[in-house]
Structure 1
Amino acid sequence: MLHLISTSLSLRCRHVAALPLHLRLCATLISGENQQTVQALYDLSVDIQKVRKLKGWVLHQSTAYTKEVSYLLKDMGAPGSIISRILAVYPEAVLCHPEQMQAQRELWMTVCPNQKELVGIIEKFPASFFTSSSHHDNQRHNIAYFQSLSLNKRIITKLMASAPRSFSQPVERNEVMVCALRQAYLELGGEEANVKVWLQKLLSQNPFVLLKPPEVLRRNLLFLKDVGFSTAELLHLVSKLKGFVAELNPDSMRRSLAYSQDTMGCSEAELRDIILNCPALLYYPEDILAERFEALLRAGISMSQIMDTPTVLELTTQIVDYRIQRLRERGYDVGAGSLEVLNGTKKNFEVNFGKLQLRRERPLFNPVAPLRGDD
């Protein structure tokens, strides 16, 4: 009996010793994992510990297609480093059936035929590519619908990548929302010839607008009309807000408008003009607005300056403090000058800052030119 036990233990020990070291450690530390999946991911240089921490359940699935995912991506031109990054971030990809992956590849290439670009999209939005096969029909129908609207292929690709739910849902829902957007644009005075361009800009800025019910859009437009915006002003406002007009609701807008008017001490007509220049005031909550007003005032900027350049309120307090510090180092008084130099994106600020620097370094007079004496 003891001999049999000894023999059994000996065989088990030889079996364990035959396994690679990292798998012996895995088997010891983590029970129930699919060791073939772990091994395949390890061979692809995927961070196993990261997968365990974020998506450990994937490693416990009995069926996985890790090598098949790797072959597909490699065949599309993806280098090993990108494949390992994709699988570390979205290990669920290994659960997709090979036929499903190939079907997705063919589907996406109808709007993004460049495989290198498609690999870049998969790297950024892996969940959008490795999706359930139950959505394939909806995806195909939605692609066909948006192509029928003559939308740019890049716009359709961006929609599929950043808002996959809009392509997974039945095409009828997207048709209803697009119809509502088109109708609103035309009712506000937009021209039929410009609908396509307007719609492309709107969807590229906020693809999630397709997931909203049309009633939200109509309710928000009605509220803004009741506030006093004219039809022409509403068209301007909707164009600047892009699809974000569907993200709002009357109660939050009412509170933000009341706070802004009370803080700036302006009339309703003045507030509407400010909103037309800075629509963001409609969707920033009161606490965010309070923080940004206080930061600007604390820096020595007057309320009249803010009202003249309200888009400065779109900047976070950290960005405002940093830019003001840089301007002061150059001797620029933000409390006396224009806030336009403080405004805009990082790139715009650097351009404006450079121009300001050149102006300060330029001589006040031409030393070569003769001085004009008294007549």
Structure 2
Amino acid sequence: MKNITLLFALLFFAGAATFSQEQISFKFSNAKIIGGTHDVLQFDIEIKADAPGTFHRDLQVYLDYNTLAFGEGAVAAGKVSISALELMDSHYLTVSLVDNTPSKFAFISEAVEELNQPGTATHFSEVPVEYTGFIRVQMEIDDNNILAGIAFDEELMNGGQYMQSTTSTDPIAYNDPCVFENDLMDFSFIAHEIDLTTGWAGISSYMLPYDSDIENMFDPIVDELVILQNFAGVYYPEYNVNTLGGWDQNSGYLVKVTENCQLRVFGDASDGGPLELSNGWNLIPVKGFCDVDTEALFNGIIDDLIIVKEVAGAGVYWPAQAVNTIPTLNPGKAYFVKLTSDQTITFPGCE
């Protein structure tokens, strides 16, 4: 009797293993705004499997979006484009990119050899167990004052994802439901607009940029940009020099342009917070989207403050001489500050 029970158990577990289904997960990543005549939201969709050895066959993505931000029927209006990333770069075709409803579009892909070959790395892409790029989406924005409202339609996507059998040309469904990691419902298109006039200026931003790469941030005004620098490095596009890398929200910058232009910084707004300063000269940003009272900001370190000075301007705050011609520090600008020791100041939040 014990032998029969053991045999039954072994058969049960073997059958369960044979018919087990792997699960696939989806997430949004690398969302950013590409500024231009018409601003564009760009984001990637990444996928992963919960176990190795699955080769994706047919994958379907259904995305809901805010029609107030993008308009209705975005695909038919020519406002949506899709490009392949690593997991669709070869072996796959786009079957359909179409409006599913006025506020939803569908993207459907299939493997070229799905009817002819079993699942192998020669004819299919294996879905890794770490998130990897599937497709890149670009959507033209109608109204920058409205949140994106983008999310996976979980109901339509569950049950519509297939891997290729490794022993035949049969499709095998991934486990239903899928896993959906995040959304872009509250993604904002609002930018910090910084007006630049011909010549030198000091700039900063209260935005935490979606894309902090200096070259990408300044690409819309690269024809007007001569140089961007701070105490850590320089970006000199004419000579392909970039030792800055990424934007530092805790630094001010010196910038020179050949004509009037506007820099737009897209990201999440930050309001106030501490800023560490070093002994000697500093180039500081304004951390917040409101004017800041200069004397109040430096009151706590007044004994160590020598001077605050405008960049490319004549304004100064010089406590020892009772001189203050910059009563407020303005968002978007940068200022020189000289101290006799390391200190910390704290920008207040806007009321």
Instruction: Give the structure with the larger helix fraction.
Output: 1
Smaller-chain TM-score bracket: under 0.3
Structure showing greater radius of gyration is 1
Structure number with greater CO (CA < 8 Å, separation at least 6) is 2
What TM-score do you get using the length of structure 1 for normalisation?
0.23
What TM-score do you get using the length of structure 2 for normalisation?
0.25
